[in-house]
Amino acid sequence: AAETAAPDGTPFGRAVTTYTAGSRTLGPRGGPVAPPVVSPTSSARFAERARARRTVARRKAAGIAGGTVVVGALGWLLLLSPVLALEPQDVQVEGAGTVVAVDQVLAVADAHAGTPLPRLDTVGLRDEVLEVPGVREARVTRAWPHGLLVVLVAREPVAAVPEDGATGFALLDMEGVQVGRVDAPPDGLPVVDVPVGDARTLSAVLSVLEQLPADLLAQVQGVSASTQDTVAMQLRDGVTVEWGSASETPLKIAVLSTLRSSGAAAGATVIDVSAPRLPITS
């Protein structure tokens, strides 16, 4: 007849002998005795597993909700709140020079006051600053937590050109861009006399002026040219320098400086360095 077994598999009525070996309990055949299950029935075990899965799901949902709240709070703090908003008094402008109106640059930044710095389009702001008269180049960077640093490269005038049909003078920078207008040429700024509308000749003159060292440029009272190859400079001491074209300007500068410092051109009213390897004084 079949025997009825206990929950651990041991038939009723049969004695179970166990042995102890060290810290382990061994069964009658020498194998370890399995620990009793938590729930002796299948339905109880299924219920425990379901509860465990629900616990894991609740913890995961709580973690996702918490992360969403943190991300949302951080996004509000950086992108919407006034904590990092641009404040006009914290905008700093550098490199304005003598031409750029700083208040016009500040007005561009003021139009964006209250915008959080992380949302501020610095590239677009730079393009707006470039529209300010006299600005040649600009760089806009955030100055945390509320400011901006605007670094400018100004279009400094290097020459005064008589206006056609007028009594004033147009102030030009190295690229021939007009940066202002005056009734009389400023002290220390050479007056350029070139044919009206001759861009190539004007470019040659400005190229020469751009390469002159500061001490020599300060001595130049005026520059004239009928073509791009006939540039001539009038110095403030009355000496005329025939420069020729804009080519080999560094060599011409060295030759002119040597002649004037050595006394070789003493008393000369004309110094011709158009052929710098064969200079002529008269």
* Coil/strand/helix, residue 174: coil
Query: What number of other Cβ atoms are within 10 A of residue 114's Cβ?
Result: 9
Does residue 198 share a domain with residue 248?
yes
Considering only 58-62, 186-190, 218-222, 278-282, which range has the smallest mean pLDDT?
A: 58-62
CA distances to 64, 163, 204 from 228, rounded to whole Å, are 73, 20, 6
What is the pLDDT at residue 32? 58
pLDDT in tens, 2-48: 444 445 554 544 444 554 555 555 555 555 555 554 555 677 777 77
Of 80, 104, 134, the one marking the end of a domain is 80
Q: Would you say residue 15 lies in a domain?
A: no
What is the CATH classification number for the domain harbouring 199? 3.40.50.11690
Over residues 157-170, mean pLDDT? 86
Ordered strands of the 270-272 beta sheet = 178-182, 169-172, 159-162, 191-193, 220-224, 231-235, 240-244, 270-272, 280-281
Does residue 123 share a domain with residue 70?
no
**Is it the case that residue 273 has pLDDT exceeding 90?**
yes
Over residues 259-276, mean pLDDT? 91
Does residue 256 share a domain with residue 195?
yes
What pTM did the predictor assign?
0.63
Q: Which domain holds residue 98?
A: 84-154
Does residue 211 share a domain with residue 274?
yes
Query: What number of other Cβ atoms are within 10 A of residue 12's Cβ?
Result: 8
Rounded Cα gap, residues 209 and 218, in angstroms: 10
What is the pLDDT at residue 4? 47
Ordered strands of the 147-154 beta sheet = 91-94, 147-154, 135-143
**Is it the case that residue 141 has pLDDT exceeding 80?**
yes
Q: Would you say residue 163 lies in a domain?
A: no
Does residue 102 share a domain with residue 67?
no
Over residues 170-183, mean pLDDT? 89
Does residue 60 share a domain with residue 132?
no
Q: Would you say residue 230 lies in a domain?
A: yes
Q: Would you say residue 33 lies in a domain?
A: no
pLDDT in tens, 210-237: 999 999 999 999 999 999 999 999 999 9
Does residue 96 share a domain with residue 56?
no
Rounded Cα gap, residues 171 and 152, in angstroms: 19
**Is it the case that residue 170 has pLDDT exceeding 60?**
yes
Rounded Cα gap, residues 32 and 17, in angstroms: 12
Number of domains in the chain: 3
Q: Would you say residue 180 lies in a domain?
A: no
CA distances to 45, 84, 107, 235, 241 from 148, rounded to whole Å, are 65, 12, 13, 44, 47
Does residue 73 share a domain with residue 106?
no
Does residue 75 share a domain with residue 135?
no
Does residue 277 share a domain with residue 200?
yes
Winning range, highest mean pLDDT, from 65-69, 71-75, 77-81, 170-174: 170-174
